[in-house]
Structure 1
Amino acid sequence: MAMNYLQSVPKLKGRDNYDEWSFAAENLLVLEGMIHYIKPAVPGADIKIADDERTKAKLILTIDSGLYVHIKETKTSLELWTKLKNMFADSGLIVA
């Protein structure tokens, strides 16, 4: 069933579709019971390494392969999520 959900998440291509991708990816992780790996509710919560690796893998499968060069060094799903957010989320700044 997870694969059906995974197919519903658009591939992240960059800044142009980051908002849509992050919304869909977050909801995929909610359905899979993995949202706490990218949004820990309690500092120091019980993070199982194998489950975190599965969460990271699911996210990577939703990312265009052209972006892999930017994320290959990330170690955890939270680190991956944060890196992508810093790279592509609209900061609200207007560049003149």
Structure 2
Amino acid sequence: MPSVNQYFNNRVTSIAFKTISQPATVGVMSVGEYEFGTKEFETIQVISGALTVKLPDADDWQTFEVGEQFSIEANKTFDVKVDADAAYLCTYGESA
């Protein structure tokens, strides 16, 4: 059964579910700036809008648009800027 989580005063909402092979969340981010932490390896794909991301240990920001993805190692933090509401799909654990 899916579960709904809200963060940052309800400006980020995610729905957790299990794909055929791994856990995942699909969510929406409202305009703003956020810092996220990982507990395990994550792959985030933008499905609507764009996410501007400062990856761990990076000096520069990168913008990821619809269809693009990025990955974050476990136990890292990363920053995200959202200029217009955006949606994402996040899968957890390295894919086989």
Scaled to the shorter chain, the TM-score interval is under 0.3
Structure with bigger gyration radius: 1
Q: Give the alignment's TM-score, normalised by structure 1.
A: 0.27
Structure 2 length-normalised TM: 0.27
